[in-house]
Amino acid sequence: MWLVVVTAIVAVVLGLRFAYRYRIRYCTSMRKLHGKTAIVTGASAGLGKETALDLARRGARVIMACRSLVKAQPVAAEIRTKTGNRNVEVRHLDLSSLASVRKFAQDILDSETAIHILVNNAGIFGSPKRKLTDDGLEITMETNHLGHFLLTNLLLGTLKASAPSRVINVSSDLHASCKTFDPDDLNYEKQPYPGPFKSYQTSKLANVLFTMELSEKLCGTGVTANCLHPGAVSTEIVSKNPTYWWLTPIMDYLMWTFALDVKRGAQTQIYLAVSDEVDGVTGKFFDNSQVIEPSKLAQDPNLARRLWNASERLVNLASEEKHY
């Protein structure tokens, strides 16, 4: 009896694993990117690394924007070896520091004449307790949203001059778990800090709202902005996070059972970066390389404008840093 039950459970688990993984639509675009420049944040591991590898294989100049140079340099060397593309480099970027974002952006503007693809991929899981950065900003929101908001704005002038160009923001379908959102309380000063899962979900909702407002501001410029859910992907965001060491064995098992590997998980952001099918498509939310409807909250234009205005205030976006 028990043997039958165990066999049935194993069969169901393996069936779900197979079904989830093999539903993925691979990016079939053959587009080459010789002469194009791409920036990928968080490119030292996971989805960012796989995206950087694919873009380098297509011939792009790839700038890996990473917090740890020690970790990223060997990855860049690996990508150069695998692709034969010597035009892959690493530059330091800590999205939880506005000063670091501004320094990175200025270095890019000083050295690069064009930017054709910006993949805002980096992200962290929520902090167990409310934690403020040196900027006085909640660390999850600054890393996942505000840092990318500032970076994108600082690079917008060059992105527009390089058009057609693309901005890709990696979000999550977990944004739909948010039933309320207050753009004027991104630091959780009015309401209690909701914990790691909710703070992460809220930052992912901010990614979607930012994308929608960005696409409106860039209408007619030749720069498109889209966001995506990569799927449940086996990355280091939780399982290798030292704060959640006790979750590692559980997450490793769940990731093995149900999650996508990074190659499959990166397909949608690669698709948005290179595919002819999305030429001119902007302001959309994608899952498995297909447009889907984000949550109702994420489609609220008034909320998107309020978030944009609040984000400008929090990052102290100066008039000379505005290119929309």
What residues does 165 pair with on adjacent strands? 223
Residue written as tokens 């039950």? 5
Q: Does an H or E element contain 195, and which?
A: none
Which of 188, 193, 200, 271 is catalytic? The answer is 200
The one-letter amino acid code at 266 reads A
Q: Is 200 a catalytic residue?
A: yes
- CB 47 within 8 Å of CB 235: yes
- CB 5 within 8 Å of CB 12: no
Rounded Cα distance between 228 and 194, Å, is: 24
Q: If you write DSSP's letter for every residue of 221-287 in order, what string do you get? A: TTEEEEEEE--SB--HHHHT-GGGGGGHHHHHHHHHHHPBPHHHHTHHHHHHHH-GGGTT--S-EEE
What amino acid positions are annotated as catalytic residues?
200
